[in-house]
Amino acid sequence: MVKIVIENLAQKEVFTSDTSQSVLAAFQQAYVDWMHACGGKGRCTTCRFKVVEGYDNLTPLTNPEMKYRMQGRLLEDERLACQTHALSDCRVVVPEACKLPHMRYSD
């Protein structure tokens, strides 16, 4: 069982046993509201998250993520929730630009 902790969302713990699903799908399955303007298709960067711990426990960068890195729209410690799969435990935070107005964040 993989555990993803969203540190600035009251240490919310999301569990998944399906490593073939994206982090975004795991969040949705756990009823966590998460911004994804393009519908989870890798066409924007609104679903990005910052990896605090466990970066190596995520799948390799996808082509859309590499493109956004080269454009400077995805930082070295950020990943797209719609493109990334968690293979083991990790800790993440929601960047300021990706926060939803109705959610309470702790940073």
Eight-class DSSP state of 97: G
pLDDT, residue 72, reads 96
pLDDT, residue 49, reads 98
pLDDT in tens, 75-95: 999 999 999 999 999 999 999
Q: Which pTM does this prediction carry?
A: 0.95
Residue 15 token pair: 């569990």
Q: What is the DSSP string of 22-82?
A: -HHHHHHHTT-----TTSSSSSSSTTEEEEEE-GGGBPPPPHHHHHHHHTTSS-TTEEETT
Q: In the chain, what is the straight-line distance between the N-terminal and C-terminal CA atoms, in Å?
A: 28
Second CATH level (architecture) for the domain 2-98: Roll (3.10)
Q: Where are the domains of the chain?
A: 2-98
98 pLDDT higher than 90: yes
Eight-class DSSP state of 90: E
pLDDT in tens, 14-73: 999 999 999 999 999 999 999 999 989 999 999 999 999 999 999 999 999 999 999 999
pLDDT, residue 7, reads 98
pLDDT, residue 86, reads 98
